[in-house]
Amino acid sequence: MSNIRLPHRGFAAIAAIFLIVVLAALAAFMVTMSNTQQLTSTQDLQGTRAYWAARAGLEWGINRANTTNACPAASSALGAIEGFSVTVTCAVATYADAGLTPNLFRIISVASTGSPGGIGYVERSVTAGLER
């Protein structure tokens, strides 16, 4: 009886294990990319919403300064706009020019949500200048 050795014995099992490992790594990569895309999309949407909430606060501050010709007190009276905390601050300066004393207003509105440093934290700030 002769001993015949098969040189490729067990090769299919090694190839199958390698293929399973490669497919599992590819699936894990796809799941990670999907989660990253969802998080990025959500943060982009929240950033846009924060901008418009800050813009609403700015419009409120401009209206108050324009109707009263005085700087509205620092306020978070707007409270929460669509889940965003909106704070409006104002600074006024007066100067003399040809017998007139116009007021220069600098109004800043900040909208934020979440806690600073957290994954869901979003903040937007808008500023306007008004001469009256």
- Reported as a single tens digit per residue, the pLDDT across 71-110 is 877 665 677 788 899 999 999 998 887 888 888 999 999 9
Give a yes or no: residue 77 inside a domain.
Answer: yes
Give a yes or no: residue 4 inside a domain.
Answer: no
State how many domains the chain has: 1
Query: Which residue range is the domain that position 38 belongs to?
Result: 11-131
- Reported as a single tens digit per residue, the pLDDT across 7-65 is 666 778 888 999 999 999 999 999 999 988 888 888 899 999 999 999 999 999 999 88
Residue 49 backbone phi and psi in degrees, to 5: -65, -40
Give a yes or no: residue 25 inside a domain.
Answer: yes
The rounded mean pLDDT for the chain is: 87
- Using alpha carbons, select from 90, 23, 79 the residue that is nearest to residue 56: 79
pLDDT band at 5 (very low <50, low <70, confident <90, very high): low
- R_g of the chain, CA atoms, integer Å: 31
pTM above 0.75, yes or no: no
Lookup result for tokens 């209206």: 63
